[in-house]
Amino acid sequence: MRLLYRNSNLINTGNEKLNMINEILSRDLDILKLSKSISLNVRVFLKPEKLLSLMTDDIDNILYRQQLSKDIYENEILYNELIRIYQKLTGLQEISKDMTQASKKEITNYIKVIKWLELFCEIVSDFIGLFEKCADIISAESLKKLKMNIEEIYSSEEFIIINKNIKLLSKDVHKLNSIKLGVNFNEYFEPISVNCLEINNFYYYPKKMADIVRNEKKIRGIGKLKYHPAGKMKQGDIRYDEMRAQTVVIDTTKMQRFLSCEINIGYIKAIDSFIKSLNFNNRGIIKKFILEKTESIVELIDDLGFFLGGIKMIKQLNEKGMPVCLPEIVEKERKIYEVENLYNCYLPFILNNPSENIVSNDIVLNDSSGFSILNGPNKGGKTTLIQGMCLSIILFQLGLYAPCSKAIISPADMILTHYQKEETGDKTGRLAIEAESIKMIFSNATKNSMIILNEPYVSTSPAEGMYLILSTLKAVRELGCRGMLVTHYHKLNDKVEEENTSAKDKISFLNMGIDSSVGNTRRTYELKKGRGEVKSFAMDILREYAPELLD
Amino acid sequence: MLKSLIWKNKQIEPVIKLEIAKVLTEDLNLKKILSLMSKEPLIKVTPDIFLNSITSDAENILFRQFILKDFLKRNDILPILEELIVALDEMQKLHKILKPELLVPKLMLRLRKLELYLSIMEKLEYIFNVENSIETSEEFSEIGEEIKNINNDTGLSALSEDIKKIKTISHKFKSIDIGINIDLQHEAREAIIININDFKYKKSNLIDKIRCGDSNKIQKLSIASEIDIRNAGQKLSFEYELYKEIETLLREDLNKIETILSKYSNLVTSGILAYRDEIFLYYGAIRLYGFMCSRQYKSYFPKITSDNIELKGVYSLVMAFESIAAEDENKFVVVDNNIDMSIPEKTILITGANDGGKTVMLESLGAVQLLFQNGIMVPASHAELPVYNKILSHFPKDEDLSIGAGRLGEEAGRVSEILKEANDSVLVLFNEPYITTSPTEGLDILVLSIKRFLEKGAVIFLVTHYLDFLSEINETEKIASYVMEIIGELRTYKAIRHEPMSESHALDVAKAYGVDAEGIIKLIRSRKDNSDSEVTV
């Protein structure tokens, strides 16, 4: 049962190329921030590459996910109840972590299995309650499927038996009450190893050792002391024989952790063996139940966590006064990307008063102009814009809301990016690194891909850099893909316009605005059509950040 | 206490400030060089150790060169230094432990510190007092004499005997029995000491099955002190009780141990930690020398000059490192070069073809300077170098979107900070600055920046693709221009003294990767023909 995939054949099993592309994308667009934003727990979040691998370009699947996003986003009750159930599911996951796959099937890790089953039964009951409460508001196909699945489990014979008898199952184990360990010490009085000596059904009673010494007058220095019973043995008390269990060697530098870890290691192995020997009923039912009925619920954890986290982020954007929308989906082949009031969804979490301080923009990439050159002043917002654009596509193809007021988008089969990289320090120079990256892009891109080139070919002489960019643009025309190229090489634009006259696919021009009307120039962060200024206003930057360098 | 092993004169201001160290380490790929000096994972010469030791005092440099040369005369030096480093590391860990409250751990901590002190001083005496057949410098002999005197005053042999006595007493106590009560969740709740024994439990195997209900072997209830481990997170709770009990039971023996240890109450063991980083430095230098010799690479202890730079046969240790790791050794050919700069020159400019070895050359020059100012031999056949009070670098960095200054703003800010430090005793390394703007503006800013640094008298090593730089800057007499040689399309990685060429041969590189104009179209068309363009999403 997957909330992310309508059909199991749509599940992305990953391939090396796509993983590599996602790794680059993740680094260039700082997807780690997105991963953390859409996680419910700040400490536990999907790895960026894993998040990107969840993207889909299948229209039916995007719609499938959008339905669920809409249901959760628009219904507070559903959202809150699902969060509550999700937290229990993570509890289930925690218990499972302690159990190895082998243990789970052989049910040797009895205590943990009992706990796991108790929680599982609770979760199923919670879901039943939720679907009853929200019967009228659920419209997503995935939730309807989930409801059917839960009802099937709830009504199964195994579930009924286990739910009824869960508390009785743990009784057997309560025979075990105490354990005796022998701890060896070195000449620095540090413990170095542990042996398990006994497992008992009775408790040890305390008495001061100093009192024992006083009473036992023969004691000199140290030696084996005699046992002193605090009371009579009760009938039925037994010792399960002496056992010399596995020795655990303790690293003496970790002496202070001795108690919390090493004793546990020492006796858990013994307990495990002890449990194995117990005869308990219902083992067969439990085994069957766990193996056959529980997987569909357990699988939910990741998908549910993803949706709840995603909607959490979208709600936060909304609370900050920023618009969000579910994009309209159009066919891949139309290669449309039309958005209104797009903003970079990282900015509201950084800036104060985001609804006032963030400049939104409209972008249109379609059949007639699918690829654009983006110029603009230094610090004009170019990198922020292209990042925002890519993030909107990623969120769309994850099935979530996009950070804009309106959007019509054709899914891209890939998003391929090229950003400047630091030299790696082996024999490969920076230009070679760039060339490798460009090659990788054009070895994989199709006409349905989105390509983003952020200041390519700056690691060579300007004249040669421009020549190589022109070659790359030829490749873009040949391929017919969508995308943007950011560059400070203004002289390039003349050549591109020249080539546009004879090319079928035109490359358009966009620029980040600058207002130089009043004394000092001011970056407007507004995206405009056309070529813009023929300089980058670098000296402004110098005046602001390094006035000492100026005359 | 023993005087420093690396500082003849105290250094007041560090050559490499803490905040610069990280930048320099990344820019010059120092970690690879330092890994040649280390024996990981046991002994790691870290950037901090290396950079904190750098000196701008010529006497310090010479002092270290003498000591190092004397070390290199001995074949057995590395293993002994390794043992010494391990002991010093152990001592460092012990000194980080907070003073225990209870008597037993307090005494045992003191015992271990004294044991280590003994071992360290014995090793130091051995290292610095060589056989008469090996001639050593005055500096080396002085240190040896000093160590001998300190050890005699301390009374090392008496200390050794006393330590043995203490351990005989402490080792009477060999094991304890602990009973642990378990709650319903099978968590340990109470731990109770049952016995203290004078025997050790032997190792044994897990038994196959448990015999249940054997009433012949009923265990009587055992009693002893209760120790509550419910709050096991309070790490000292069990040990605290345990040691309190031991204190009571073994009072007589502990008093004997205390009496013996009190003879050494004036002996400060922490002082010896000052030598840890110093020994690390010499150890690293010797390992580096060993590496160079094993590969038949040259090494040289540079002479000190006032201004001029003369390097013959200088090569890249990073490339040498890469050549070990590479499967195909021929992929990493280590090429040596000659570089010099003499008055009035203040800048070494490096231009040339893409992939021609410019950055490698820059890194090598930086690394050579750092090694030299640490008193260590450099990768060259001959070297004469000046000493700088500060060494700074500026290499391109990925944009930090969180700062909001844009790449150019971040870069300008960094250069501005470096300029504030600049004077006539400062070396600055620049690698392709100001490429994140239009070419015309980038060149203008570069020329401005270099002029500012020249005004302050700083020495600059600069790599750039702005080929018009030399013609734009007026002070060409201050610039020694080198070009990384290319013959046809072949990069020789040789630096030749020449004005910048007219191109960077980027097309060769593009062609080699198939991303020139022809190649890239071919790539796309061949994919279309093969219809293998779909990647599963």
pLDDT in tens, chain A (551 residues): 789 888 877 776 668 888 899 999 999 999 999 999 999 877 778 899 999 999 999 999 999 999 999 999 999 999 999 999 999 998 888 777 766 544 444 434 566 777 788 888 899 999 999 999 999 999 999 999 999 999 999 998 888 888 877 766 655 555 667 777 777 788 888 777 666 666 666 776 655 444 444 444 333 333 333 332 233 434 444 333 322 222 233 333 333 334 334 444 545 555 555 555 554 456 666 667 776 778 888 888 889 999 999 999 999 999 999 999 999 999 999 999 999 999 999 999 999 999 999 999 999 998 888 999 999 999 999 999 999 999 999 999 999 999 999 999 999 999 999 998 766 655 578 899 999 999 999 999 999 999 999 999 999 999 999 999 999 999 999 999 999 999 999 999 999 999 999 888 889 999 999 987 766 788 999 999 999 888 899 999 999 999 988 86
Q: Report the share of chain B in percent with pLDDT over 90.
A: 60
User: B237 to chain A: which residues are within 8 Å by CB?
Assistant: 259
- In DSSP notation, A191-223 reads EEEEEEEEEESS--EE--HHHHHHH-TT--SSB
Query: With an 8 Å Cβ cutoff, are B180 and A267 in contact?
Result: yes
User: Token pair of A167, please?
Assistant: 């508390």
- How far away is chain B from the Cα of A271, in angstroms, using its nearest Cα? 9
Query: For residue A101, what is the enclosing H or E element?
Result: helix A101-106
Q: Quote the pLDDT of residue B327.
A: 65
Interface membership of A542 toward B (CB under 8 Å)? yes
Over residues B39-47, the mean pLDDT reads 91
**Closest CB from A189, A212, A273 relative to B170:** A189
Of B198-212, B278-292, B353-367, give the lowest mean pLDDT range: B198-212
- How far away is chain A from the Cα of B323, in angstroms, using its nearest Cα? 10
Q: Quote the pLDDT of residue A172.
A: 53
Q: Which residues in chain A (426-445) have CB-CB distances under 8 A to chain B?
A: 426-432, 435-436, 438-439, 442-444
Interface membership of A285 toward B (CB under 8 Å)? no
**Closest CB from A176, A185, A546 relative to B174:** A185
Q: What is the DSSP code (8-state) at residue A259?
A: I
Residues 6+ apart with CB under 8 A from A268: none
User: A197 to chain B: which residues are within 8 Å by CB?
Assistant: 177, 201
CA distance A411 to A53: 14
Query: With an 8 Å Cβ cutoff, are B194 and A227 in contact?
Result: yes
CA distance A480 to B91: 67
Query: With an 8 Å Cβ cutoff, are A439 and B406 in contact?
Result: no
Over residues B474-478, the mean pLDDT reads 89
- How far away is chain A from the Cα of B219, in angstroms, using its nearest Cα? 6
Confidence (pTM): 0.82
User: A383 to chain B: which residues are within 8 Å by CB?
Assistant: 399, 401, 406-407
pLDDT in tens, B321-372: 888 777 666 667 789 999 999 989 999 999 999 999 999 999 999 999 999 9
Decide if pLDDT at B305 tops 90: yes
Beta strands in A343-383, from DSSP E residues, in sequence order: 361-365, 371-375
Query: With an 8 Å Cβ cutoff, are B173 and A264 in contact?
Result: no
Query: With an 8 Å Cβ cutoff, are A231 and B213 in contact?
Result: no
Q: Quote the pLDDT of residue B13.
A: 78
Q: Quote the pLDDT of residue B231.
A: 34
Torsion sign over Cα A348, A352, A355, A360? negative
Suggest the residue from B93, B174, B219 to mutate for an interface test with chain A (most A CBs closer than 10 A): B219
Query: With an 8 Å Cβ cutoff, are A458 and B436 in contact?
Result: yes
**Closest CB from A273, A419, A541 relative to B409:** A541
β pairing state of A328-329 and A239-242: unpaired
With cut-offs at 50, 70 and 90, classify the pLDDT of residue B14.
Answer: confident
Q: Quote the pLDDT of residue A169.
A: 61
**Closest CB from A241, A464, A547 relative to B503:** A464
Query: With an 8 Å Cβ cutoff, are B221 and A202 in contact?
Result: yes
Query: With an 8 Å Cβ cutoff, are B214 and A195 in contact?
Result: no
SS3 state at A328: strand
Residue reference for tokens 């090319």 = A503
User: A187 to chain B: which residues are within 8 Å by CB?
Assistant: 167, 170-171
Q: Quote the pLDDT of residue B184.
A: 63
Query: With an 8 Å Cβ cutoff, are A427 and B322 in contact?
Result: yes
Helical spans, DSSP H, in B263-404 = 276-294, 317-325, 358-372
With cut-offs at 50, 70 and 90, classify the pLDDT of residue B398.
Answer: low
Cβ contacts below 8 Å, chain A against chain B, sum to 435
- How far away is chain A from the Cα of B212, in angstroms, using its nearest Cα? 6
Q: Quote the pLDDT of residue A230.
A: 32
Q: Which of residues B251 and A101 earns the better pLDDT score?
A: B251
Q: Quote the pLDDT of residue B215.
A: 25
- How far away is chain B from the Cα of A100, in angstroms, using its nearest Cα? 18
Query: With an 8 Å Cβ cutoff, are B397 and A422 in contact?
Result: yes
Q: Report the share of chain B in percent with pLDDT over 70.
A: 85
Query: With an 8 Å Cβ cutoff, are A383 and B515 in contact?
Result: no
Residues 6+ apart with CB under 8 A from B254: B103, B104, B107, B247
Residues 6+ apart with CB under 8 A from A149: A1, A296, A297
Kindly list the strands in the beta sheet with A507-515, ordered across the sheet, starting from the edge strand earlier in the chain.
A415-418, A450-454, A482-486, A371-375, A507-515, A522-529
Q: Which of residues B189 and B197 earns the better pLDDT score?
A: B197
- How far away is chain B from the Cα of A151, in angstroms, using its nearest Cα? 32
Interface membership of A464 toward B (CB under 8 Å)? yes
Interface membership of A259 toward B (CB under 8 Å)? yes
Q: Quote the pLDDT of residue A160.
A: 86
| Mean pLDDT, chain B, whole residue set | 85
Query: With an 8 Å Cβ cutoff, are B207 and A184 in contact?
Result: no
**Closest CB from B177, B412, B520 relative to A542:** B412
Q: Which of residues B194 and B170 earns the better pLDDT score?
A: B170
Helix axes B103-128, B77-96, angle to 10 degrees: 160
User: B318 to chain A: which residues are within 8 Å by CB?
Assistant: 425
Q: Which of residues B196 and B78 earns the better pLDDT score?
A: B78
Q: Quote the pLDDT of residue A282.
A: 60
CA distance B513 to B493: 20
Closest residue in A to B230 (Cα) is A260
Closest residue in B to A488 (Cα) is B438
Residue B506, amino acid: A
**Closest CB from A199, A228, A259 relative to B223:** A228
User: B450 to chain A: which residues are within 8 Å by CB?
Assistant: none
Query: With an 8 Å Cβ cutoff, are A431 and B194 in contact?
Result: no
Cα–Cα–Cα angle for A503, A57, A504, rounded to 5 degrees: 5
Residue reference for tokens 């920046």 = B449
Q: Are A542 and A549 in contact (CB under 8 A)?
A: yes
Q: Quote the pLDDT of residue A244.
A: 26
Interface membership of A346 toward B (CB under 8 Å)? yes
Decide if pLDDT at B213 tops 50: no
Q: Which domains does chain A have, with CATH numbers?
A: 8-174+288-304 (no CATH), 179-279 (no CATH), 322-540 (3.40.50.300)
**Closest CB from A178, A439, A489 relative to B513:** A439
Query: With an 8 Å Cβ cutoff, are B196 and A457 in contact?
Result: no
Query: With an 8 Å Cβ cutoff, are A239 and B217 in contact?
Result: yes
Interface membership of A333 toward B (CB under 8 Å)? no
Q: Quote the pLDDT of residue B456.
A: 95
CA distance A508 to B63: 67
Closest residue in A to B465 (Cα) is A461
Q: Are A253 and A262 in contact (CB under 8 A)?
A: no
Closest residue in B to A227 (Cα) is B222
Q: What CA–CA distances, in Å, run from B401 to A32, A42, B407?
A: 13, 21, 9
What is the ipTM for the molecules in this complex? 0.77
User: B175 to chain A: which residues are within 8 Å by CB?
Assistant: 182-185
- In DSSP notation, B362-376 reads HHHHHHHHHHHTTT-
Query: With an 8 Å Cβ cutoff, are A427 and B332 in contact?
Result: yes
Query: With an 8 Å Cβ cutoff, are B520 and A21 in contact?
Result: no
**Closest CB from A387, A475, A541 relative to B521:** A475
- How far away is chain B from the Cα of A125, in angstroms, using its nearest Cα? 24
**Closest CB from A182, A205, A551 relative to B177:** A182
Of A143-147, B72-76, B204-208, B256-260, give the lowest mean pLDDT range: B204-208
Interface membership of A499 toward B (CB under 8 Å)? no
